[in-house]
Structure 1
Amino acid sequence: MTDTPSSDFDYDTRAVSAADTLTPADRYQELFVAVQMQRVFADSKTFVDCAPRQHPERILEAYRAQNSEPGFDLRGFVLEHFEVYQRQPTEFVANPDDTLAEHIDRLWPVLTRHPRQHPEFSSLLPLPHDYVVPGGRFTELYYWDSYFTMLGLDESGHCELLRSMADNFAYLIDTYGHVPNGNRSYYLSRSQPPVFALMTDLFEESGVHRANDYLPQLRKEHAFWTDGDDQLRPGESHRRCVCLADGSVLNRYWDERDTPREESYLEDVETARSSSRPAHEVYRDLRAGAESGWDFSSRWLGDPQRLSSIRTTQIIPVDLNSFLYNLERQIARLSHAKGWHDCAEAFRQRAEARLAAIDRYLWSEQHGAYFDYDWCLAKPRDNLTAATVTPLFVKLASAEQAARVAEVVRERLLAPGGLSTTEVGGSGEQWDRPNGWAPLQWMGIRGLQHYGHDALALQIEERWLKIVSLLFESESKLVEKYVLRPCTEHAGGGEYPLQDGFGWTNGVTRKLMQADPSHEAHRCRAGRCRVE
């Protein structure tokens, strides 16, 4: 490819602190391990989000001098030397006269962060512009969450905030070569599902920026995901790329590190201890599972009831490769529009090759659906998940394939509250039954609509809005995930309690309500009505 676009963005570096990419584990070493292993804080994420009260080297020196003294109080030491992040109290109270849409609109300022000052030596990576966080314990920008959050920001008319978010993501790619899982140093070793190409379409539709403006960043993100793919022979893998038996290259999730996740350190250590595999392999697979956004799910497990059997890096996911197909198509389209024909043709060929490999390895003619592929065992996975709708969402499926997927969704994944995440229940993982998630509803609904399966899409939409409305009217809030049946039971599973907020639920729900103005959710008020 002879075309080499350069970035059109000129960031005001005076507004952004110098990035400090040392992670808390790198910086605090044995102090970090002691704090996490002794569970000084109930949530492992608390310590890695703390800001030091003095230079980290002085803190580590003090710890080494004091920790062997009789009566040493580790918790007291931490509270003395670190500022524990306190969620800012707000005066936000649900207004019983607000509709659900109005309630969401009033939440956006609560979830917006204004990065005017940056805590020195903290794990937070600085950003040049305002951004929206998911809520609860998630106090930073998250990659794939943000796309679904942006759907609602667009619907609520927050064009300036959309512009800020757009430039933040461009800044992250320009600075780090990829979009980290979130803007924390301990997230830098991994990304999340590559949805920046989807964002650029949204930016263009909203009049925020032309999608063409982001072509350099799209190219750079693609290079991150495909690093080393041209050097592989059949059966070999490198980072996020796998070369299959016929020479086709598809992608997997990965993480540059093979240590416990810093924000879930003790949890990962305990998981590895219950496995017979080398600990570093388990850690890498846990981290790769976090990059997938589905952390965690039976989808990644050898034994659906044991997290320690996780094998994420051995699995080629249908959704990841669908997103990368979309990225390649987007680069080809935008390059063609700019007259960069060599680049356009190269990425058109890449997309066609990926599509052929997806049809060969991820499509099941027998079952009429898309499945992940276990490249180490050289066979498809047999667990149906909601990821099967992603090829429809990015429009890579044929009409016949889409029709068969629609039938499978109707028969096996349709629940009283919307689209089921998997068919597996009782695993204890949050990305399994009975939980449902806003991004999967959105991709399922829009994917089915792309192929004319409007009745099924409407069923999912109506059922999801009903579930969200039920909890809103009983508890005056929106949450991260939902039990997909009419009840007031809270969704569970996973490593932390259910979080309120919640960015992507707000975004998807706000967008769906606009698309379905007759739904009873529009008449719902906090604590005042019941949706039948």
Structure 2
Amino acid sequence: MGTQPPHCTSSRTQREQQAALAARPDALSPADRYQELFVAVQSGGVFDDSKTFVDCVPLSDPAAILEAYRQAHHRPNFDLTGFVHAHFRATRPPKSEYESVPGQPLCTHIDALWPVLTRHPSTHPANASILPLPRPYVVPGGRFGELYYWDSYFTMLGLAESGRTDLLADMVCNFAYLIDTYGHVPNGTRSYYLGRSQPPLFVLMLELAEQHGAAQAADHRSQLQQEYAWWMAGAHELSDANERPRAQASRRVVRLPGGALLNRYWDDRDTPREESWLEDVATARACQREPQEVYRNLRAAAESGWDFSSRWLSQIAAPAPAPEAPAQQPQRAASARSLTAICTTEILPVDLNAFLYKLETTLARLCQDAGDAAAASEYAAQAEARRQALLALCWDAGQGAFFDYDWRKGARRSCLTAASLTPLFVGLAEPDQAAAMAATVRARLLAPGGLATTECGSDQQWDRPNGWAPLQWMGIRGLQNYGHAELARDIAHRWLSTVAEVYQAEGKLVEKYALRELHADASHGGGGGEYPLQDGFGWTNGVTRALLAEHLDHAAHSACAHTAPD
């Protein structure tokens, strides 16, 4: 185990010390900074991946580089690619950061990956898009070489099981620093991510760190309050339901008829995502909608962490599998569900609101413990109002499941997803709802390799047949919370078998998995999405390590790498 660092406190002195370790960077994103040079590079195909340029390190002052481009780009035979390589250093990840040791058990492999995936404050170059942090941190791996918000909670589960409470404490300090510095936790620690966050799991990180003696939640009450205020910004601008009975929205908050406040995903910008600029421009050009509307919805889906899924598309209704068709092999739509139909900001996600319920109930407890009864009462009332709204709007008794809610149409959505289990994960569901949910999961979302992401299949990566580590963990824990241990164990064992199968064959863990029958001819590595399958991989390592610690009898413990990654 590493040496325990001092606990990160919420005192002003401590925050100033942290800020001194990592001076606040210029918040200008690469698009803001490089303007027409940025557009030329991203549209000109200088790099295969749109993320490569925005992660580049400038070799001189950015303003001087832009001026040099303005002076040179009109000249005959100007070489844009040559100019970029002369003025920037690409920080492409190596094809493989770690070669597995033949014969090495899965647990040992994961424990050995933590140092490989750890980054340090000294590695933050000047004038780049990276947002400096004061403490070491763990990245997902592959093209994702920065800290990501919701990924990190699931990574931290594994750090705890590996005995790395030093890194657990460091991660908490870094997230507290981000809230103190920017007012919220960005999607990731890049300047182009500052317009959005991700699922608000800092509260769960604190709970985990407290369980392992790496932090005290009470020390971070102010940051939790600040994050909550950020998510609720604009609520007071919405008129009382009696004055305007129709639903209204402001940024991430929606006031519904009757007065309930629920949340949606959003992004403060309505331009193409800089790390996916070419892809977003192509999507906007392929439809008849206002480009800004498309860009905002694409960005909002990125804030959800589910980028992308049929969950966020209009007209996604898909029939349930016919009785003679196995639930794990639903019929795919006749054509790919195009992102031109994206409507994320019209949807009140059941999981986002469940996470905010968890934040509200935690703040109520922390305020009560601190002697602030008025604040405690207010947070508790907000939590109960949110819970009642979710039970009324998102619960479908006929189908025995929670669904997202379309606030513009005033109707529940029809796409069954693994997010349906989040109310069980945070404890807001009623016992009979949990029982019905368990039956629905077994009938409609249980796949050979674990818990399916959605019931319908598509070419988007957050759809069937792919499975994702965070959804397995929340589903398993949610079912356990309500006494459905057998189903939880079944999902865990299926998932561990899938991960072990790939590890034995390829010597690595990956970002997502295709939840097919084991030993099938097709690869179990997940597909779809805007980029190739990534190795690493932070949250897969974390969830798998935590599940292995709970399932000591599973054959995955004896899984050993036969080969190194290609």
TM-score bucket (shorter structure): over 0.9
The secondary structure found in structure 2 opposite 1:190 is coil
Write the distance in 2 (CA, Å) between the matches of 1:78 and 1:231: 45
Q: Which residue number corresponds to residue 158 of structure 2?
A: 152
Q: Identify the match of residue 332 of structure 1 among 340, 364, 367.
A: 364
Q: Which residue number corresponds to residue 511 of structure 2?
A: 480
Q: Identify the match of residue 10 of structure 2 among 7, 28, 44.
A: 7
Q: Which residue number corresponds to residue 516 of structure 1?
A: 551
Q: Which residue number corresponds to residue 133 of structure 1?
A: 139
Amino acid in the other structure paired with 2:412? P
1:483, distance to aligned residue in structure 2 (A):
0.3
Q: Which residue number corresponds to residue 449 of structure 1?
A: 480
Confirm or deny: 8 A CA contact 1:393 1:448 kept in the other structure: yes
The secondary structure found in structure 1 opposite 2:27 is coil
Cα-to-partner distance string for 1:299-328 (whole Å, 9 max, x where unaligned): 000144111100000000000000000000
Confirm or deny: 8 A CA contact 1:143 1:192 kept in the other structure: yes
Write the distance in 2 (CA, Å) between the matches of 1:445 and 1:512: 10
Confirm or deny: 8 A CA contact 1:465 1:521 kept in the other structure: yes
1:281, distance to aligned residue in structure 2 (A):
0.1
Amino acid in the other structure paired with 2:101? N
Cα-to-partner distance string for 1:158-187 (whole Å, 9 max, x where unaligned): 011111100000000011110000000000
Confirm or deny: 8 A CA contact 2:110 2:545 kept in the other structure: yes
Write the distance in 2 (CA, Å) between the matches of 1:74 and 1:203: 48
Q: How many residues align?
A: 522
Q: Identify the match of residue 463 of structure 1 among 490, 494, 497.
A: 494
Q: Identify the match of residue 311 of structure 1 among 315, 336, 343.
A: 343
Confirm or deny: 8 A CA contact 2:302 2:308 kept in the other structure: yes
Amino acid in the other structure paired with 1:493? G
Q: Which residue number corresponds to residue 3 of structure 1?
A: none
Write the distance in 2 (CA, Å) between the matches of 1:401 and 1:153: 33
1:440 matched to 2:471: yes
Q: Which residue number corresponds to residue 24 of structure 1?
A: 30
1:155, distance to aligned residue in structure 2 (A):
0.2
Cα-to-partner distance string for 1:43-86 (whole Å, 9 max, x where unaligned): 00000000111111111111111111111111100000111114
Q: Identify the match of residue 526 of structure 2 among 487, 491, 494.
A: 491
Write the distance in 2 (CA, Å) between the matches of 1:84 and 1:336: 50
Amino acid in the other structure paired with 1:8? S
Confirm or deny: 8 A CA contact 1:17 1:118 kept in the other structure: no
Write the distance in 1 (CA, Å) between the matches of 2:182 and 2:49: 28
Confirm or deny: 8 A CA contact 1:272 1:282 kept in the other structure: yes
Amino acid in the other structure paired with 1:494? G
RMSD value, Cα: 1.3
Write the distance in 2 (CA, Å) between the matches of 1:301 and 1:113: 36
Q: Percent identity?
A: 59
Q: Identify the match of residue 54 of structure 2 among 40, 48, 54.
A: 48
Cα-to-partner distance string for 1:415-445 (whole Å, 9 max, x where unaligned): 00000000111x2100001000000000000
1:377, distance to aligned residue in structure 2 (A):
1.1
User: What is the 5 A alignment of 1:297-446?
Assistant: 297-304=309-316, 305-425=337-457, 427-446=458-477
Cα-to-partner distance string for 1:450-473 (whole Å, 9 max, x where unaligned): 000001001100000000000000
1:490, distance to aligned residue in structure 2 (A):
2.5
Amino acid in the other structure paired with 1:7? S
1:18, distance to aligned residue in structure 2 (A):
2.8
Write the distance in 1 (CA, Å) between the matches of 2:315 and 2:103: 48
Cα-to-partner distance string for 1:179-221 (whole Å, 9 max, x where unaligned): 0000000000000000111111001101011111110000000
The secondary structure found in structure 2 opposite 1:250 is strand
1:8, distance to aligned residue in structure 2 (A):
3.0
Write the distance in 2 (CA, Å) between the matches of 1:190 and 1:385: 23
Q: Identify the match of residue 537 of structure 2 among 492, 502, 518.
A: 502
Q: Which residue number corresponds to residue 67 of structure 1?
A: 73
Q: Which residue number corresponds to residue 247 of structure 1?
A: 259
1:117, distance to aligned residue in structure 2 (A):
4.5
1:88, distance to aligned residue in structure 2 (A):
6.1
Write the distance in 1 (CA, Å) between the matches of 2:378 and 2:10: 20
User: What is the 5 A alignment of 1:160-309?
Assistant: 160-233=166-239, 234-304=246-316, 305-309=337-341
Confirm or deny: 8 A CA contact 2:515 2:524 kept in the other structure: no
Cα-to-partner distance string for 1:452-504 (whole Å, 9 max, x where unaligned): 00010011000000000000000000000000012434211000000000000
How has the CA–CA distance of structure 1 residues 171 and 457 changed in structure 2, closer, same or farther, with 3 Å as cutoff? Answer: same
Write the distance in 1 (CA, Å) between the matches of 2:214 and 2:340: 44
Write the distance in 2 (CA, Å) between the matches of 1:158 and 1:275: 49
The secondary structure found in structure 2 opposite 1:61 is helix
TM-score by length of 2: 0.91
Write the distance in 2 (CA, Å) between the matches of 1:397 and 1:126: 39
Q: Identify the match of residue 118 of structure 1 among 124, 128, 133.
A: 124
Write the distance in 1 (CA, Å) between the matches of 2:39 and 2:348: 33
Confirm or deny: 8 A CA contact 1:123 1:184 kept in the other structure: yes
Confirm or deny: 8 A CA contact 1:436 1:484 kept in the other structure: yes
Write the distance in 2 (CA, Å) between the matches of 1:48 and 1:221: 27
- Runs of 5+ in structure 1 lacking a partner? 1-5
